[in-house]
Structure 1
Amino acid sequence: MLERQKFSDSVAQQRAWVEIDHKALAHNIRALKSLLAPTTELLAVVKANAYGHGVIEVTKTVLENGATWLAIATLGEGIEIREAGITAPILVLGATNTAAELEAIAHWDLQPTLCTLEQQKLFQETMKKLGKTLPVHLEIDTGMSRLGTRWEGAVEFVEAVHTSENLEIASIYSHFATADEVDLTMTHLQHERFKTTLTEIGKLGIPLPKLHLCNSAGTMLGQEFHYDMVRPGIAIYGCYPAPHMENVVALKPVMQVKARITQVKTLPPDTGVSYGHRFVTSQKTKIAVVGIGYADGIPRCLSNNLKVFVNGQLAPQLGSVTMDQIMLDVSHIENVQAGDIVTLIGKEGGDRLTVDQWANQLGTISYEILCGFKPRLPRIHL
């Protein structure tokens, strides 16, 4: 009862907020785990504030439900997790290029990605000065063309790290570029390059460490690609990497976005609404002003194309999305008043408004929408 009261009190104080469903989050981790062999670990990608969901609370739930590793992009993200008392192993996916960063990584018991021979020299020199041995994860570029040593030079790279006195190879990994495409030609080519690299490393007598290759899409392709660990991100939060993967595993959306109506008024015909008057009423129109805008993460490009739930019914947004407010046409909805809750992302009855719908309208991906909801929207954890 106390938990429910806290939730009610926190919502009552808000003009707009994001709700995070931890039952759905736990379900998604267990569902993804069901795709894996018993020996394959699940590394939960919680970078970018857990894709906008709230990193500390999300991290606790994913670890409680079967994740054994975490991945973040920046040093600061890792420190935030450690300061919260979370002790699970953390892989830093981003590049590390200064001694100061390395010293902080070692201090906070983080494990960095090592991408190049130049970095190997910096890592070794820094750890030798500190008198420490640092676990490192070697990224091989098999076709993503982002971080990592290209596969053609990977054997020399791995050998150099293997012979470094103060570095310990914790894993070797690569990253799929097109695993969410229907055409898997490039995915199979990347996999072959990865396997060839591992074979060549084995010929040198270097023992293979933990191996991993799969993002969310790769995880859904099957155990052939899983190796010792998978690294799902978007799927943890209940979104599919691509529509054709929706029948692979049942995921539940974790995030809902809600706001309050702040004023209701009736406008006469031929009245412009919002900046630029990009919508003009054609008849008497009852509008509701809602306390959320592009400063909260509602893309302005959705102006005049957004629909939301008001009292269980869909209401179109009118005119330009403004920094802090949007306007809705609620002429067809009875008993709308200030204080009513509007659902922008989420479920009401049997219908759902999704981040994928927004992404499709904008020509982008669900990842960008989720990460776009700003910090001034409090995360309410259910």
Structure 2
Amino acid sequence: MLDGEQLSYIVSQACRHYQFSKAIRQRAWVEIDHQALADNIRALKGILAPQTALMAVVKADAYGHGAIKVAETVLRAGATWLAIATLGEGVELREAGITAPILVLGATNTTEEIEAIAHWDLQPTLCTLAQVKLFDQTAAKLGKILPVHLKIDTGMSRLGTRWEEALPFVSAAHAASNLNIASIYSHFATADEPDPSTLNQQHQRFQEAIANFQQHGIPIPKLHISNSAATLHSTALHYDLVRIGLSIYGVYPAPHLAAQVSLRPVLQVKARITQIKTLPPNTGVSYGHRFKTSAPTKIAVVGIGYADGVPRRLSNQLKVLVNGIFAPQVGAITMDQIMLDVTHLPAVQVGDVVTLIGHETKEQLTVDQWANQLGTISWEILCGFKHRLPRINL
């Protein structure tokens, strides 16, 4: 028989589960359109060179879309590889039962990390000669042959051995008894810019490095260099794999690339109105009173704020959709709430859904609009929506 403390715990947990399940759309949430996600994968595959496979980048919790569900959807739709940034992200996918090959884009430098890579059947990126030696030694102790991907720095100046110094690095990996080179790859720094000069220079460096490896008798494995922007730029950059992140989520890496393929946004951000009040003229709204009413003004309070990923710098700039009609956000955005001027919406009421990112009727609000207002990039906006916003998979 349960004692009082055990019974209290069980009841509290049951109530907590009930409250969460009932409240999932009561404050604020993110909706993920998996049909749009699958359609984007198919559309992108349709523009790839015939020999090219699609690697879906699902790092950073699939850019805030939910890595496990996204991975399942993109693999069903035709992606054959996944890419993540950290070991923890890879382990999460493996624990969820995902068996597709997973490339770890980040660098790993300890025996403990290598042991985890081997245990979870992940495929690491090697960037230096020191890594080659450590991976080979550790793999020998484990009694395994590890598939590895070699990164060449052609101008990003981030991870990888510089292209003109890469021959000893790649030769050592080829000679290592316990390593199998699964691919050689690089990464573009400016593929989303209209001027292709730097992209072309990086591509030439990549080609020169590969030719140098061939001249020294090194078998050439799979090659890949294209991110979303480069994939849309030219099929000449597709090689054996393309690594597509942003575009699978329905966002174009640059306006001039939008004509290459038709994509649909996957993510929408919504919240509910929690209170409505009418304020007299010359009344300050929110912290600092950076907005004051000039006439009687109907204010709606909405249950979402900067702790959820709505940047405070959008204060007094943000617009949202309420019942298909645009409404301006006024006053400073606070941690958990924003305020709207809904004077022009006579039928608005507590409980109405507010769309911050997404579409209603013929109107649409996009992450690109937020990014442009803030002078940042869409990637940052997508990754900023915090996990206290439940993900609703449609």
The interval holding the TM-score normalised by the smaller chain is over 0.9
Match of 1:281 among 293, 307, 321: 293
Answer yes or no: is the 8 Å Cα contact 1:35–1:222 preserved in 2.
Answer: no
Matched residue, 2:268: 256
1:136 aligned counterpart, secondary structure:
strand
Q: In the aligned structure 2, how far is the partner of 1:14 from the partner of 1:261?
A: 9
How far the C-alpha of 1:11 sits from its partner, in A, is 6.8
Q: In the aligned structure 2, how far is the partner of 1:189 from the partner of 1:335?
A: 58
Q: Does residue 1:366 correspond to 2:378, yes or no?
A: yes
Change (3 A) 1:145 1:10: farther
Q: In the aligned structure 1, how far is the partner of 2:358 from the partner of 2:253?
A: 19
Matched residue, 2:247: 235
The residue correspondences of 1:315-334 to structure 2 (distance < 5 A) are: 315-334=327-346
Q: Does residue 1:162 correspond to 2:174, yes or no?
A: yes
Q: In the aligned structure 2, how far is the partner of 1:271 from the partner of 1:218?
A: 51
The residue correspondences of 1:1-382 to structure 2 (distance < 5 A) are: 13-382=25-394
Q: In the aligned structure 2, how far is the partner of 1:380 from the partner of 1:153?
A: 48
Q: Deviations over 1:187-208 (max 9, x none)?
A: 1111111111111111121111
1:334 aligned counterpart, secondary structure:
coil
Q: In the aligned structure 1, how far is the partner of 2:273 from the partner of 2:309?
A: 17
Q: In the aligned structure 2, how far is the partner of 1:38 from the partner of 1:196?
A: 24
TM-score, normalised via structure 1 length:
0.97
Q: Deviations over 1:79-109 (max 9, x none)?
A: 0000000000000000001110110010000
Q: In the aligned structure 1, how far is the partner of 2:72 from the partner of 2:26?
A: 25
How far the C-alpha of 1:293 sits from its partner, in A, is 0.2
Range that drifts further, 364-373 or 36-45: 36-45
Answer yes or no: is the 8 Å Cα contact 1:264–1:338 preserved in 2.
Answer: yes
Answer yes or no: is the 8 Å Cα contact 1:21–1:381 preserved in 2.
Answer: yes
Q: In the aligned structure 2, how far is the partner of 1:330 from the partner of 1:234?
A: 34
Change (3 A) 1:124 1:182: same
Matched residue, 2:12: none
How far the C-alpha of 1:167 sits from its partner, in A, is 0.7
- Root-mean-square deviation (Å): 0.9
What runs of 5+ residues in structure 1 fail to find an aligned partner?
A: 1-8
Q: In the aligned structure 1, how far is the partner of 2:23 from the partner of 2:50?
A: 41
How far the C-alpha of 1:14 sits from its partner, in A, is 2.9
Q: In the aligned structure 2, how far is the partner of 1:13 from the partner of 1:181?
A: 39
Q: In the aligned structure 2, how far is the partner of 1:242 from the partner of 1:222?
A: 14
How far the C-alpha of 1:13 sits from its partner, in A, is 4.4
2:106 aligned counterpart, secondary structure:
coil
Q: Deviations over 1:122-169 (max 9, x none)?
A: 111111111111100000000000000000111111000000011110
How far the C-alpha of 1:335 sits from its partner, in A, is 1.4
Answer yes or no: is the 8 Å Cα contact 1:141–1:175 preserved in 2.
Answer: yes
How far the C-alpha of 1:67 sits from its partner, in A, is 0.2
Matched residue, 1:6: none
Q: Deviations over 1:234-265 (max 9, x none)?
A: 00001111111111111100000000000001
Matched residue, 1:5: none
How far the C-alpha of 1:174 sits from its partner, in A, is 0.3
How far the C-alpha of 1:351 sits from its partner, in A, is 1.2
Q: Counterpart of 1:168 in structure 2: which amino acid?
A: N
TM-score, normalised via structure 2 length:
0.94
Q: In the aligned structure 1, how far is the partner of 2:355 from the partner of 2:184?
A: 43
Alignment identity in percent?
71
Answer yes or no: is the 8 Å Cα contact 2:24–2:390 preserved in 1.
Answer: no
Q: Counterpart of 1:102 in structure 2: which amino acid?
A: I
